[in-house]
Amino acid sequence: MELSLAHPAIKAFMCGSVSGTCSTLLFQPLDLVKTRLQTLQSGMQPGSGRVGMMTVVLSVVRTERLLGLWKGVSPSFARTIPGVGLYFSSYYSLKQHFLQDRSPGAAEAVLLGGSARTVAGVFMLPVTVIKTRFECGRYSYGSVTGALRSVCRTEGPAALFSGLMATLLRDVPFSGIYVMLYSQAKASLPKEVRSSASAPLANFSCGVVAGVLASLITQPADVVKTHVQVNPQLRTAVAIRYIYKEHRLRGFFRGAVPRALRRTLMAAMAWTVYEQMMTSIGLKS
């Protein structure tokens, strides 16, 4: 069979999966804290602005011990390892098909990043729903497969695709903006830096800048997505009205700090590891 492990798209998938594994394990606590902040009930926060990252961290450690910060790591692995692999293999395949070996322009980078994320986001959405429910602390699922069966049995298979619109409104712009800013920042680096031993550090720094901006722009969609997936009776428009009614505009930026930290560091690490691995096996990323 021609599509073997030597196929470039398969290599890109494997490189992406490795990068996703490393970043998921390191940054899972930030994702859990973000989800808990976004799903706090009004009655639990008399001065909503006073409930911050450290409050949530201490509460989780006190009630669920230190390992409680890694609650949801199993569905995170189930989502991120194949999801990041699928994202990078889609990105690589699209880039090779439309651009061959040249670097993408700004608009092309947006389209490449957004298209690759659409493929990965839709395919991995059922596991994303389960991951969000694990992290929020309101559900007592025993395993990822058990959670998938439970949702299908009690709510119907359609529940596994709840928040699809909000997820795409979050992930597609994030990836498009991120790839555009990241590729443009890398292209602006001096040639001697790009070919030196410090290139991975320079690439990581470019990823951090791109990640912070992309995270802040897409934060409102992330809050809406979390509410829809945790409360299956909500629809995207209803969730938007609910968040605004309960918390006003600041409600759309709850959890922005841990999310920006996680998404920025995760994306920067994933792209750095991916590009280094692709270079080491003789492929242009």
Q: How far is CA 20 from CA 104, 123, 197, in A?
A: 23, 16, 23
Q: Do residues 15 and 86 make contact, with C-beta atoms less than 8 angstroms apart? A: no
Domain covering 8-280 assigned CATH 3.40.47.10 in the classification: no
In this predicted structure, the answer to whether residue 30 has a pLDDT above a threshold of 50 is yes
In this predicted structure, the answer to whether residue 1 has a pLDDT above a threshold of 60 is no
Query: What is the reported pLDDT for 6?
Result: 55
Q: For residue range 108-156, list pLDDT tens digits in order.
A: 999 999 999 999 999 999 999 998 888 887 888 888 899 999 999 999 9
The distance of Cα 17 from the centroid of its chain, to the nearest Å, equals 13
Query: What is the reported pLDDT for 45?
Result: 45
Highest mean pLDDT range out of 18-22, 69-73, 180-184? 180-184
Q: For residue range 178-227, list pLDDT tens digits in order.
A: 999 999 998 888 888 888 888 888 889 999 999 999 999 999 999 999 89
Q: For residue range 143-169, list pLDDT tens digits in order.
A: 889 999 999 999 999 889 988 888 898
pLDDT bucket at 48, cuts 50 / 70 / 90: very low
Residue ranges per domain, the chain? Answer: 8-280
In this predicted structure, the answer to whether residue 20 has a pLDDT above a threshold of 80 is no
Cα-Cα-Cα-Cα torsion 74, 78, 83, 89, nearest 10 degrees, comes to 120
Which residue type occupies 133?
R
Report d(CA 259, CA 135) in Å as an integer: 13
